[in-house]
Each structure stands twice: as C-alpha cells, then as structure tokens.
Chain A
Amino acid sequence: MFKIKLKFISLIICMLIIVSSVSACSSKGSNNSNAQKESKSVTQITVWYPWSGPDGNVIKQWAEDFNKTHPNIEVNAQLVPGSGIGSSQGKFHTAVAGGNPPDAVLYWDYSSIPLLASQGLIEPLDDLLSGIKEDGSKFTESSWSSVKFDGKIYGLPEMTSVLVFFWNKDMFKNVGLDPDKPPTTLQEVDDMAQKLTLKQNGKYVHFGFIPWIGQGTPLSWAGLFGVQDYVVNDKPNLENNTGLEKILEWEASYSKKYDPNQINNFFAALSQNNADQNDPFILGKVAMKVDGMWEIANIKQYAPNLNYGVAPIPTAPGGKENSSVLIENVWMIPKGAKHASEALQFIEWTYDVHRQADAGDQVFNISPVKEAAKLQKINNDPKAKVCIDLMTSGHVSFSVQSKATFAIKNALDNAFQAAQYLQKTPQEALKQAQSEAEQTLAQQGQ
C-alpha cells in the first residue's frame, strides 16, 4: 500500500517537473523564435573561455560591449573549465569530433597549438587574416612568433605574461645579504641559497631556492639556458643533449645538497598541484623563486605586507641577459567552426589599444599589442614595470613549436623528476626520456 502511494506521489512530482521544464523550454523557445523573426540577420557566435575570476570577467565584458555596438553579431561568451582542452577531459575534442565546436576558443597555453594543429583540430588562419589585412605587426615579437606553426598562423594572442624572479627582502636582511641587490647569475643564486637555507634539529625551517618549484618547469629552464635543440626536424633530441644535461646536473646539485626526500616532504607540506592555498614564498618558506607576473597581484591580495622584490631572472650559463619566459593565452578557431570570420571580427575588435590597456591592467598581465602595453597604468608599479620591460626589450623565450613538443614535454617532466629524486643520473634520465618521447610519437602514428 505504502509502495503504491509512494509511486503515485513520485509520479505526480515527476509530471509536475516535466511539465514545468517543458513549459520553461517552450517559453524560451518561443522567445528565441520571436527574436529570430525580428532580426533574421543576427549571427550568433559562441566563444569558449577557460576560467572565471578577473581574467574571465574581461572576456565576458568584452562580449557584452561588442554586442552593444554590433547589432548583427551576437557573441555568446561561455565559461568552460579549461576550455575543454586542459583540465576538462575532452569536451573540446568531443565537440569538434561531433561537429559542434565553438566558433572560437581561448586557451591559456600557446604551446598546445602544434599538437592541435597537426592533428587537424584547429584551422589555419592565414587566408582569413590576409583578408582583413592583419599582418601581426602590432603585436610584440614573441607573442606573434609563438602562434605560428609549420609556416602557418594558427592562433591570435589574447594576453601575455612573463616569468620573473622573486626574492624575499626580509629574509635577505636576516642573513646579512643586501636586500636591494638580488642575484644576477644562477651561480650567485646557488651561493645565496646556501646562506638562506636554515636547518634546525635536523629539519629544514626554510629554503633559499629550489629550481623546480613555482614555474620552474623543464622547458622554461631550457629556454633560459638557451637550449632550443631538444627537437630537431620534429624528432626528439634528448639523449646526449649537453644543454639539457647541464640543466639536470644543476637541478640535481640541489637534491644532493639538501636531500630530495626532505625537499619533497617540505614542499608537499605546502602547496600541492593547484592548491595554491599555502604558497611557500608567501609564507616565507622559500627565499627566492621563479614565477609568473600574476603573483604580484596575488601577493597584493593575500599578503600585502610581504617585503619582496621582483627582478629579471638571473642569467643562466649559456643563456642571455635579461631573459624571461613567455606565458601566453591564445585564441584559436576550431575545425568546423561555422562563423569563423565573425569570430575573427570580434577578436580583432578587442585589439583596440585602450581596450587592451584596460584589460591588461585588470588582470595584471601585459597586452600583446605593443602600443597598448605602453599605455598600461601598471607601468607605474615598479614591480610590474620590471616585467613589462622584460617583455618589450628583453629576451623572451618560448617553447619550440613542433608537433613533437608535447610528447617531449611529457617525457622531460618524468626525466626531470627522476633526476630530482636522484633516481637516475642526468644521462640515464635523458636516455629514458628519448625512448619515451619516441614511443609516444609512434603511438600517435607519427
């Protein structure tokens, strides 16, 4: 009896919900058809962007402003975590494969272009761009070079940033180092790190420097050490690569000095993956680090009283002076996008110099448009100025745009970890990375 009553009640509830949802759908549907009857010539385009926060709000705002002034194009800016490419498990690929892609997609990693392009998931833009006379001259050199692959243009810069060197002035003072004189070479970093590392009762209290925390990724260091031959003719060149060996030996020297298990446990106790709650630099657990310009904004918000400085990354052996590493968000047009030219119209509209300067200030990044970067108000912030100068007049490196780069990046991540844990010598690690990268490329059918 009870069961029958329950069935009956749940049936009613379900019918109510179905009725209400259908009516909601149909009312929306009728609104749509009304709108369509009124202005048949409105082209609706969809644009995916990967995150919320200030960066995402910029995109939303751009879409709103564009729609106000462009009556025949309606931009629907949609927040899709990771744009379905990184951290969203295949939504982008499913949409493209299913013939239902967005008209443009914004992604935070320009280095994904080669793989997506070589596999045909994104479209080359040369024809469309020459049609609207875009030759890239308004962009900074590194931001424009990095969107090219295989002789074609596959993306457009949205926002750029650089990696810089951070140091904790108070910690410098405490060990007798001049707080206003950061290291200018990596050798100096090693020496200062020694002084800035404190061990008590067999446990580390704080470290001076560890190469692989923050944004110290293998390819970043490769750029800083001037090593660009890790891929030759789209084939991995990792084994016996002296440049990479040098970097690995330098990183391993830290493990040998301070014991890899202690280092890893120490930093595991702080931030992990994307859990940026307990950033070691902010907590005064590490005195120096290489990290992105955006950290300046973070520190302002979370630890405004931190006494620190920002400087160009100390020169590495074999590297150039005033070096830094490019970080760039790029727009891409997926294969099968139905309104590519309208999407490009929107993207080009965002390159208005004042618009770019405002956006760059909002997100504490550097606009890829040269004139806009000069106008940005954050130029008045001495720390930000360091970054902007590096971008416009320093040597900005970016990863080699080859279809093999992604496989190489993966293999190097593993190799570097093995060297950091002192599980393998640099030579062994690179040998393993070589076969791993080759294996991955073979699996891709290349």
Chain B
Amino acid sequence: MISMKSKKLTKYDIKNIKRGLFFISPWLIGFMVFTIYPFIASLIYSFSVYNGVTASKFVGLKNYIQLFQDPKFYTALYNTFYYAIIAVPLGIVLGVLVALLLNQPIKFLSFFRTAIYIPVIVPTVAVSILWIWLLNPEVGLINWLLSLFGIKGPGWLADPKWSKMALILMAQWGIGQSVLIYLSGLKNVPKELYESADIDGANGFTKFFHITLPMITPLILYNLIMGVIGSLQYFTQAYVMTNGGPMNSTLFYALYLFQNAFQFLSFGYASAMAWILFIIIAIIVYILLKTSARWVFYGGQ
C-alpha cells in the first residue's frame, strides 16, 4: 500500500474514527461527566488559597513559588523517588520470576497460585500489623533470619535510614497481582513456538529470552507504567503505619499532599503539589511509552 502523507482524511479514515469513537464511547462519556470538572477545579484551586469549604481566593503562582521554597517538598520528592526507583524494578523482576515458576507443569498449582495472591486479598489492617511484627528489630522474623547469617538486622521502621527499605520489602508482598497478569499472558504463548524451538535444540534460557519474554513484554510494560504511576503516588501504608516518620524519612509526596489538604486545610497548596506530580508522572510515562517500541513485542505485528 502506498502511504500518502496527505493531511486530508479519507472516507476510510473517517469510518474508522467513527468506529473507534463508538467503542471507546463509554469511557469518553464517563470522562466528560465525572473526570473533567474535578481536574479543572483542582487546577483552579492550585492557583488559589482554599480551605476546602469557604470560597477560594485567587493568588496566582504563589502556591507554586512557596512549594519550591519548601524543604519538605524536596524531602517528599526524594523519599518518593527513592521508593519508586527501587520498588518498581524489583517488583517487575520478582513478578516475572514467580510467574515463570507458576507456569511450570507442577502439581498443586491452584494451591500455590492462591497462596501467592493471598496478601492482596487480606485486609490492609491485618497486613500492616503483621509486617510491624515481621520487621520488629528484636523478635521479628526478618532480623531473626538475618541473624542466622550473622548479620545484625537494623531497626527497620524505627530507623530513619531503613524505614523506606522496610516499606519497599513490604510492597513486594503484593506481587501476586502482577503475577496473575503475567500468567494470563504466558498462557497465550502458542505452544507451537516452544515445540519448534525444542526441535531446533533450544535450551531453557534461549526459549525464555526469545519466546517467553518477548511475548509478555506488553504486560511488562503495563506493570512498569502502572508501577510508576502507583509508586509515585504511594500513600496508604505510610499513612497507616508510619505517618511520615521517623523524622520525615517516610514522608512520601502523596502523604505530604494529604496532610496539606486535610490536616492543614491548605487545599490550594495541595492542589499545586498534585499538578506538579501530574506533570512529572506524565513526562515519565510519555518517555516510557515512546521508547517502548524498541523492546515491546506486540503479537499483533
């Protein structure tokens, strides 16, 4: 087919646009009804002083300027990036590895899959309490395991130097979610690809790197992008377990934002924080998407 770089829409193009819009219409309608107004409202708040209740007062860029002069802003950014840079890749590697383990022809598969997914189902309050015990500096399981190797475990959640690492470890319990996603993708890999590779005498490693991995790269991209979006907005565990401490070492961006919104009643300031984070996330995700063509293999092509 000769691709003509013509800016005019052909009848075929228009037909396809109509089809596309038809299919995405549920989302589009929902977007316009439920999402647009809150987004615009929060953008306006970011240029105002607003306590959430009485009318807001327009102050231009004041919130943003104050933000850049706020030491806690930088602390929060540092903590959040520290968390994201370690937790996201770690979660992806572990998720893929565990999914591969579960993709083997083993007995009791249902049992193992359920076990991996259980921490995702259990209520947050139970998970938090249990990890507080696991990370207990004196009698916790983690430090006990370390002591078997002669290592003296740190204070974890009580130690400003180790508190983020403690939360990163805890987050790995949630990999059951991404494991399930990879498993559904692994099931889709056509068996003939493996069979023909076997005939060609390929070993496990080759099969993994040339068949398995490429086939699930779209799902790895999903977990990567969702991981970035999620980890840069990490909030719940820090709020429930540490409340930013000790000494602001777990003051994550979304937690500081929340404190500004609902404890200090500085809604305008919190909105400015939100939009800065929005821009940061948008840039990172855009870069990830654009560079993904190089390593993501879509079976459709």
Contacts and interface: CB of A to CB of B under 8 A. Distances in A.
A261 interface: yes
Interface stretch (A17-25, A115-123, A172-180): A115-123
A414 B258 CA distance: 17
Contacts, number: 101
Nearest to B245: A417
Contacts of B156: 268
A96 B66 contact: no
Contacts of A445: 49, 57, 59, 266, 268
Given A407-B264, A439-B70, A443-B266, A269 B247 contact: no
A121 B264 contact: no
Given A268-B137, A445-B59, A115 B265 contact: yes
A interface majority secondary structure: helix
Contacts of B268: 445
A264 B53 contact: no
A115 B260 CA distance: 13
A93 B52 contact: yes
A52 interface: no
Nearest to A272: B132
Contacts of B242: 273
A73 B72 CA distance: 49
Contact of B51 (A120, A265, A410): A120
B241 interface: yes
Given A264-B159, A265-B137, A266-B138, A443 B269 contact: yes
Nearest to A432: B71
A423 interface: yes
A166 interface: no
Contact of B263 (A406, A418, A423): A406
Interface string A419-446: 0010100000000000010011011110
Contact of A119 (B53, B69, B72): B53
B264 A268 contact: no
A410 B243 CA distance: 12
B155 interface: yes
Given A93-B53, A442-B66, 8 more contacts: A89-B239, A90-B262, A121-B265, A269-B136, A410-B263, A436-B72, A443-B70, A444-B264
Interface of B: 49, 51-54, 57, 59, 63, 66, 69-72, 129, 132, 136-140, 155-160, 239, 241-243, 245-248, 258, 260-266, 268-269
19 contacts: A93-B265, A96-B52, A96-B53, A115-B264, A119-B53, A120-B51, A121-B53, A264-B158, A265-B155, A265-B158, A268-B136, A269-B137, A269-B138, A273-B242, A406-B263, A406-B264, A443-B63, A444-B264, A444-B265
